[in-house]
Amino acid sequence: MLINFEKILNNLGKILVDKNLKLSLCESCTGGLISKICTDYSGSSQWFLGGIIAYSNNMKEIIGVNHKTLKKYGAVSENTAQEMSLATLAFTNSDICLSVTGIAGPIGGSYEKPVGTVYFSYSDKYSSNITKKIIFKGSRKEIRYLAAKEGIQIILDCVTDIKTQ
């Protein structure tokens, strides 16, 4: 699957630099793909602090996701995604953070959470918190790339609205 991220990253990079905002990420099902895409962009060190890959439940707990949240809602849930973004925002002291958790497949899905289910959570230091659920179709690789594209678009949409001064 070939997705051209150049245009969206140019737009995102310009907005983040203009607003002096720093981004952090917490990725599960994308396994660092969004971080990789950001660092493919020359100059991203001006706005990208880094990312955490919290793939296992144990790692999610280490970064600050509550054990009770994981037991009650599961690793792939709105609640877990929200706790991932808020914990990473605090840990990295970034201005904005996106988390992503989901089921890329081809196994692991259920009736309630089929393969392709992905939750995103955007948080920022201005008290915004937005969560979004999408069910993508495709192979494991396609789902991961579609999730990365959507995640970057969510960041772009949210930071466009931030008034920094």
Sheet of 96-102, strands arranged across: 48-53, 23-27, 96-102, 117-124, 129-135
103 half-sphere exposure, CB direction, 13 A CA radius: 19
Summarize pLDDT for 23-75 with one digit per residue, the tens.
Answer: 999 999 999 999 999 999 999 999 999 999 999 999 999 999 999 999 999 99
Tokens of 97: 């953070």
- pTM, two decimal places: 0.96
Only one residue has tokens 């150049």, namely 6
Structural domains of the chain ordered from first start? 6-160 (3.90.950.20)
Summarize pLDDT for 112-157 with one digit per residue, the tens.
Answer: 999 999 999 999 999 889 999 999 999 999 999 999 999 999 999 9
